[in-house]
Amino acid sequence: MAKIELPFPPTITATDIVNRRKPSKIKSKSPNAFLIYRKAFLDQLSNSKHNLKMTDVSKLVSTYWKNEPENVKEEYRKIAAQV
């Protein structure tokens, strides 16, 4: 499988996340940095036409997140704080 490249800085924004949420979920707890990273990862996977089981995707995202440098994680934390 080819390496998945997420754009940096992230192209996903706090506004994107809020606008995608169902009205009933707007007042619930906002997603953390990892969940936002996961959403960006899933978007990238769908754009590149990869077809993976969700269990495989979860493992893959976890591995990628653990290997990301701190500056990348910090960008996703900033987005999470804005949401």
Residues 15-31 have pLDDT tens digits of 788 777 666 555 567 78
What pLDDT score does 24 carry?
57
Residue-wise pLDDT for 45-79, tens only, equals: 887 777 788 888 889 999 999 999 999 999 999 99
What pLDDT score does 33 carry?
93
Q: Which CATH fold would you assign to the domain 31-82?
A: DNA Binding (I), subunit A (1.10.30)
What pLDDT score does 74 carry?
94
For residue 73, give the nearest of 47, 34, 19, 46 by alpha carbon: 34
Domain ranges of the chain: 31-82
What pLDDT score does 38 carry?
92
What pLDDT score does 66 carry?
95
Asked if residue 79 lies in contact with residue 40, where contact means CB atoms within 8 angstroms, the answer is no
